[in-house]
Structure formats: structure tokens, C-alpha cells
Amino acid sequence: MREQKLGTHDCIQLVPIFKQLTTVELQQVSAIVHEHVYEKGAALFNAGDEADQLTIIAAGQAKVYQLAANGREQLLYLLQSGDFDGEAALFNPVTRTSYAEALVPTQVCSIQRSDFQALLAEAPQLALGILNEFGKRISQLEGKATSVTTSSIGGRLADYLVETAASFPAQTMFTLPLQKKEIAVYLGTTPETISRKLNEFQTAGWLKKGHGNQIAILDADQLALQD
């Protein structure tokens, strides 16, 4: 991703909510999309910022978190490729209460509220199509949330590993952006369980552990089958 910066048309084609649009509709959306690449550790947004745009992760990974009274981070969720945040901001001005930080070099497509509302007026059929895709995406996210509560820790960890590996397409061995204790919080388990499951996956031949937090995915298909 550092080597080639995608244009806005290519950027939005990576995003599930725009995949069903026609070529003409994609061109209309491209006209109001802004694209930016955030380096690892950069802030996508901060608590207190006005939320006036839809933020779409075209490639990469970001963590969204809040700060407790004692200053400790409380991880809320991760944004992976194809995920979006701030859809409510397209309709009403709100103030952010959380922070978002890029865990790897992350490409973001954004749509400003003012531009989106202008599009609603100029191309209502296109806007309706986008809203329908929003609805489908939200249903998918709800289904994903349900699966998190019903699937095993191993299945959730496997999903996380496969999704994270997608952010490092050119690398066999990569460093997990989150520490084991953060992964444990994200998955609702303990660091010891994470370590045990990683060892099990390595014994099965699905991944290889390297130094520190480094791993290499050897069999993504088998990992994806875990539940």
C-alpha cells in the first residue's frame, strides 16, 4: 500500500457498500470521495472532534477506543478493510466520543456530510441504493456481533488473524498490531487463552510463530473454517 496509492474510484470499489453500484453511479460517488493514507500510529479522529463525514477503511486496520478516567485505553472495536464508521454523521452533526488510531498503514475513503446531502438532492435513486447497501451492511455487522457471542474463542481468534493478515499482502511473516492482552480484550478472553490457541494453531500447521508478536499464516482456509 505504501508503494501505490489508490485513486478514489479504485478506493470505493474495494468497499462492500459500493460494490453493487453501476459504473456511472461509481463515477458519481467518486466525485465526492476524499482519499487519505494514514501511517501506523496516526489518528484517524479524536474524541471531541466534530463527526461530519463517513469514514471507510479501504485497506489496513484501525482500532477505535475510549480513554478511562485513569488514562487507560478501553478498546471498543477494530475497523478492518471494508468497514465504515460515522454513517450517522451523514445526517446529523455529532461530536465524537472515541479515538481511532491506524494499527498499520491504512487507506481511508471519506465522504463529507455536505457532499452526501447534496448528492441526495441531485441523484435520489443513487442515494437510495447507497442507503440500501448501508442497511445490508448494518445487518451483516449485527450478524457478526451475534457470531462473536456464539462462536468459540478459537474461531474468533482465527477470524481476527485472517482479517489482520489481509493488511500485509506482501509479507509472509508479520507482526500482530495488537498485543496479546489487547487481542484478549477484543475477543473477550485472557492472554493465556490467546497464547494457548496460537500454540494449537501452530501445532496443527495453520500458522508459524516467530519472534515476539510475529506470525505467518500457513493455511488461511483451515483457520477460516474454525468456529
**pLDDT score at 199:** 94
pLDDT given at position 214: 92
Report d(CA 195, CA 56) in Å as an integer. Answer: 32
pLDDT of residue 1: 35
Per-residue pLDDT 10s for the chain (227 aa) are 333 455 566 677 766 667 777 888 888 888 888 989 999 999 999 999 999 998 888 889 999 999 988 888 888 889 988 788 887 788 888 899 999 999 999 999 898 999 988 888 888 777 777 777 777 767 666 655 555 554 688 888 998 998 888 888 666 889 999 999 999 988 888 999 999 999 999 999 999 999 888 999 999 899 988 76
Q: 122-150 in b/e burial notation, b at 16+ Cβ within 10 A?
A: ebeebbebbeebeeebeeeeeeeeeeeee
Sheet of 84-85, strand order: 33-38, 106-112, 53-59, 84-85
pLDDT value of residue 125: 75
The dihedral sign for the CA sequence 165, 170, 173, 177: negative
State the sign of the Cα–Cα–Cα–Cα dihedral 138, 61, 118, 18. negative
Sign of the torsion formed by the C-alpha atoms of 126, 129, 134 and 140 = negative
Task: Report d(CA 74, CA 186) in Å as an integer.
Answer: 10
Q: Is 207 exposed, middle or buried (0-12, 13-18, 19+ CB in 10 A)?
A: buried
What pTM did the predictor assign?
0.78
Q: Are the beta carbons of 173 and 180 closer than 8 angstroms?
A: no
- Give the residues across from 102 on adjacent strands: 62
Grid cell in block for residue 60: 489496513
